[in-house]
Amino acid sequence: MIPFDFEYYRPQSITNAADIFQTLEESGKNPVFYAGGTEIISMARMSSITTGAVIDVKEIPELKAMEFNGDDLVIGAGVTLTQIHEANLFPLLAQACARVADHTIQNKITLGGNLCGTIIYREAVLPLLLTNAYLVIASVKNARRVPINEVFSKRMQLNRGELLVQVHIPRNYVSCPYVHVKRTKEDKIHYPLLTVCALLTDNQVRAAFSGLVNFPFRSVEMEEALNDINLTLEQRVEQALNKLPAAVPDNLEGSAGYRTFILKHLLTSIVNELETGNVTNS
């Protein structure tokens, strides 16, 4: 049960949604956009957030898109993780989405919700960071198309009132050789000790991580080390481990030493698989 009353709006267009948000914001309603709503509902029940108005954007056509358009794969922010997995238009993203929570929750969590949520893992962002994806972001002032690496830094950096509309993934990345690995403490749907998404493009390995530190990330410095063919594979992995962007945490999910141990072996296996073409996923 949500312990407060709120107004409910269901706009049919991006412009209408932005206008409603501005009006409600000016009247002090502290509005929130809602698509899947799993996190909003959970936080509201725990009194972690309160709002006087919810703007349900699920029926806006642009947020439901999932198709190839020219040189891009376009996926709306309102598309669920289950829909992405079942469509399998980008296998690496499909596999990442299939390992977030359980199937029941995947039916509700949207791509936008996973990217913009407060839970630190945000595993759906990893393939997007690897593919130089662009995001379409709308507000009452304008709509902008921005590289994900300019708007995602530890978390989504959206301005108040901005709505994530779509993700545009360059078509040439969707068929690249890839590896997705998720390691958990107990079972496949548990929070990750470590998730790694990697792909091979232009004979270079790219890798992004979740669970390793307190935010998901892609590190160009780590990739440079992993792709230094003047070193042995063992040396490349050791150099990459020295370039982590933050401290590896110790918590109930696993110790820093255990996470680093897993990462070392995973990176060795992943780079070897991608470079030799003997790719498996787990």
The predicted pLDDT at position 37 comes to 60
The structure's pTM equals 0.91
pLDDT in tens, 166-180: 999 999 999 999 999
The predicted pLDDT at position 187 comes to 53
Mean pLDDT by 10 residues, the chain (282 residues): 78 96 95 74 58 92 97 97 97 94 81 90 96 96 94 94 97 97 71 89 97 95 98 98 94 87 96 88 59
Q: Where in the chain is the domain with CATH 3.30.43?
A: 7-56
Alpha-carbon distance of 193 to 166, in angstroms, equals: 29
Give me 103's structure tokens. Answer: 């199937």
To the question of domain 178-276 being in CATH 3.30.1330.10, the answer is no
The predicted pLDDT at position 119 comes to 84
The predicted pLDDT at position 47 comes to 56
Give the number of other Cβ atoms within 10 Å of residue 246's Cβ: 11
Q: Where in the chain is the domain with CATH 3.30.465.10?
A: 61-173
Pick the CATH number of 7-56 from 1.10.3470, 3.90.550, 3.30.43, 3.30.70: 3.30.43
Give the number of other Cβ atoms within 10 Å of residue 175's Cβ: 11
The predicted pLDDT at position 5 comes to 79
Give me 255's structure tokens. Answer: 């110790």
CATH number of 61-173: 3.30.465.10
The predicted pLDDT at position 186 comes to 62
Alpha helices in 49-141, H assignment, sequence order: 81-87, 91-98, 103-106, 111-116, 125-130
Buried b (16+ CB within 10 A) or exposed e, 191-202: bbbbbbbbbbbe
The predicted pLDDT at position 48 comes to 56
Q: Where in the chain is the domain with CATH 3.30.390.50?
A: 178-276
